[in-house]
Structure 1
């Protein structure tokens, strides 16, 4: 049986092999991201987070016993909090809740939440736990850089950036629950190779989300 450390190291290795530059971040930090794309960002995140909230709730209902049930219920509640904070960013862009609801998402930008739905329906209790643990450092760094660029380059007030700051700081107790969930899943016979595949796919599709937002923007 693989250990938590072995599976996590395997996932991080595969993710590092797939690493690609984040054009959206590069453009944002250079102040070259058109404001229209910031509107896209708010709209895409609205649909993404709304979907992820339901996916985590589904995982909590499929695996209600602790530690998995506690982990996924907390993650669903966290997405709800993040969704509320996103309203401040949208408002700073002049967007209302109705505007976010009416926003037409780009299919490839929503590939990540679509995959999460699949994992919630058909995956094991440990798959998303590993994806969280393997990707949390890069994800946190991305959201920190987005918030800092919006503050420094685009003049947003800190109050509008709560959504990004929220995802930049994953509480240690949640990571501890994810570790316990992964350990319990492996002990119960979950396939470690499938969990690594899930973590790698989550990473790739999160990158695809940012790439969609930068598609077609002049880099000159």
Structure 2
């Protein structure tokens, strides 16, 4: 029986789901024990992550389009536009953490936090786009869960308002359009024989580990 896009994505999610205890900072925030300095550091590092990822996704959209993979191009174009929204919502979070534009400009990023976007940039240059679709989709599932937990905790324990939590709400909210584009892109990759599940899993595993490194670097 032929594999479907849903089969591919479900297998990747089962294989690459992060193990328990791999991200220590999120439960610390959830309980209100994390210092506000860690939240400020998150906002500062995310400014670099988002601006880098936006360019990576735009480049992947261009590569996919040039390679006659319009469904994958649509997926990455959707992600790139989402990063624009995320960057807009990062401002209120930074302000709630006591950061102004000068602080954001002056911040020197940490290697452990920027390994993820650096690898995403490598994928944008070197990987088959549809393999990256699968890898990113598995990581986004975990990221969305983290953001849902943090957004709730910031309201309950840190007194942040809806505007300050908008960044986390954006990533925590289900994205039906994105889900449809994901299935379509993976289905297209299966049809034209471009998808390599072993490589997609490798990329997803590394993204997962770099994601954990991001949070661990921020942990006090």
Q: TM-score, normalised by structure 1?
A: 0.90
Worse-superposed segment, 171-180 or 50-59 = 171-180
C-alpha distance in 2, partners of 1:83/1:51? 11
- From 75, 78, 90, the equivalent of 1:74 is 78
SS state of the match for residue 152, structure 2?
helix
CA distance in 2 between partners of 1:71 and 1:153 (Å): 36
1:114 to 113, 118, 136: 118
* Deviation by residue 1:110-161 (Cα, 9 ceiling, x = unmatched): 1111110011111112122112332333221110101111111111111111
Q: Mind listing any 5+ residue stretches in structure 2 that lack a counterpart?
A: none
Deviation at 1:195, TM superposition (A): 1.0
* Structure 2 partner of 1:132: 136
Shift of 1:41: 0.6
In the alignment, which residue of structure 1 is the partner of 2:9? 8
CA contact 2:61–2:73 (8 Å) conserved in 1? yes
Q: How far apart are residue 2 of structure 1 and its match?
A: 4.9
1:179-209: CA deviation from partner (whole Å, max 9, x where unpaired): 1111212222221211121122222211221
* Superposition deviation, residue 211 in structure 1: 1.4
Would you say 1:33 and 2:45 are equivalent positions?
no
- Aligned counterpart for 1:154 among listed residues 140, 149, 158: 158
Q: 1 CA distance for matches of 2:126 and 2:174?
A: 25
- Contact kept, 8 Å, 1:25 with 1:146, in 2: the verdict is yes
Cα distance in 2 between the residues matched to 1:177 and 1:132 = 13
1:194 partnered with 2:195: no
Q: Alignment RMSD, CA only?
A: 1.7
The count of aligned residue pairs is: 214
Farther-moved stretch of structure 1 (5-14 vs 20-29): 5-14
* Higher mean displacement: 18-27 or 156-165: 18-27
Q: What is the alpha-carbon distance in structure 1 between the residues aligned to residue 173 and residue 84 of structure 2? A: 16
Looking at structure 2, the residues matched to 171 and 26 of structure 1 have their Cα atoms a distance apart, in angstroms, of 24
Distance 2:4 2:119 in 1: 25
SS of 2:70's equivalent in the other structure is coil
Q: Which residue of 2 aligns with 1:19?
A: 19
Deviates more, 1:142-151 or 1:96-105: 96-105
